[in-house]
Every structure is written in structure tokens, then in C-alpha cells.
Amino acid sequence: MQKEKEFESLVKRMMELLGEDVNREGLIKTPNRVFRAFEFMTQGYHQDPIKVLNEALFKSDNSQMVLIKDIEFYSMCEHHLLPIIGRAHVAYIPDGKVVGLSKIPRMVDMFARRLQIQEQLTEQIAEAINDVIAPKGVGVVVQARHMCMEMRGVEKTHSTTTTSSLKGLFLKSNTRKEFFDIINAPQATRF
């Protein structure tokens, strides 16, 4: 409760510094709304990737690539506290165990729900999979729009940033090519 009140007080002061009347009808509850929004958007600080992934590890003889494509996420730039809107493509090659499919998007969200830079987000996802699942290889590609580039500064509204992290077998040219071919293939009709 103390943290909430302090946060709301800071938001109220910020609005005053911007020249707003914090007592006008539309702004009276804004400090609490902002607190709740930031609490949700940064909940990843209170989640553990080891726990998320370990809860759904299963033995498997599969030795072929497992890929979850187009995982939508929202994050916030650590430099300006503005939104990052993107998609992650995450693949791994099992080595005796697989993870429940829903855990990969949950892990993407966990790392995205922290103040971030895209490069670090990409690496955190790859490292967590590599460390917990211990696969033969991991490939992560993140494509995102950054509101700090679109809403201010250079104001480039059609720019997309792409980052990747490849580990193990994904460093080999044939696996790397297969991974990029799949994620860049035209999307089939949705199910």
C-alpha cells in the first residue's frame, strides 16, 4: 500500500509539472490507473524463468526443431518508458526433453514485462531456454516497433528492429537457414 501511494504521488507531481490540473475530473483517478498499469506491465520482475519452464518439462525422443512463431508481446523501453510492440519467434532442438508449448510465450511475456532494450530481451529468452531445457540449440528472433523512435526523436513510423540470438546447433548454417526460412515463410491461412 505504501508503494502504491508513493507511486501515485509521483505521477500526480509529474502531471502538475506538465502543466495539468490534477483535480480536473478526467485526471483525479489517473495516478492510481497509472500505478495499476505499470504494476501489470512490469510484473516480469517478480517471475522466475526457471520456475515457469521447469513446471512443464517432459521427456521426449523428438530431435527435430520445435518453433513457436509470432508470439505477440508488449514491453517498455528502459530509456524513455515508452511502448515496444513486437513479435518473437522462438525455436529449440530438444535433447531428451521438451517444454509445454504455452510456457514459451509465458516466458517471452515475463521478460517483456520488465523495462527493456530489445537486444537484452532477445538474449534473455534464449539464455533461459538454453539454461533450463538444455536443448541442442536455441534460436530467438524478435521483431518490434519502438514508440521512442515513432512518437519522438526521429519519428520514423514504419521502422522495425530485428534482433536474434542463436545458440548451439542454430549456429550451423543448415539449421540457421531452416529456422530463418520457416519464420520468413508466408503465413498460411489461420486455423
74 Cβ contact partners less than 8 Å away, ≥ 6 residues apart: 41, 83, 84, 85, 86, 112
Q: Distance between CA atoms of 170 and 110, rounded to whole angstroms? A: 24
Catalytic entry in 77, 89, 123, 124: 77
Catalytic entry in 8, 118, 123, 124: 118
119 a catalytic residue: no
Catalytic entry in 4, 46, 79, 119: 79
89 a catalytic residue: no
Catalytic entry in 80, 120, 150, 178: 80
Catalytic entry in 16, 55, 78, 119: 78
78 a catalytic residue: yes
Catalytic entry in 20, 127, 143, 148: 148
Residue 56 one-letter amino acid: A
77 a catalytic residue: yes
As given in the structure block, the three cell numbers for residue 103 are 510456457
Furthest CA-CA distance within the chain: 63
In angstroms, the Cα distances linking 172 to 83, 137, 138, 169 are: 34, 10, 11, 5
Give me the active site residues, please.
77-80, 118, 146, 148
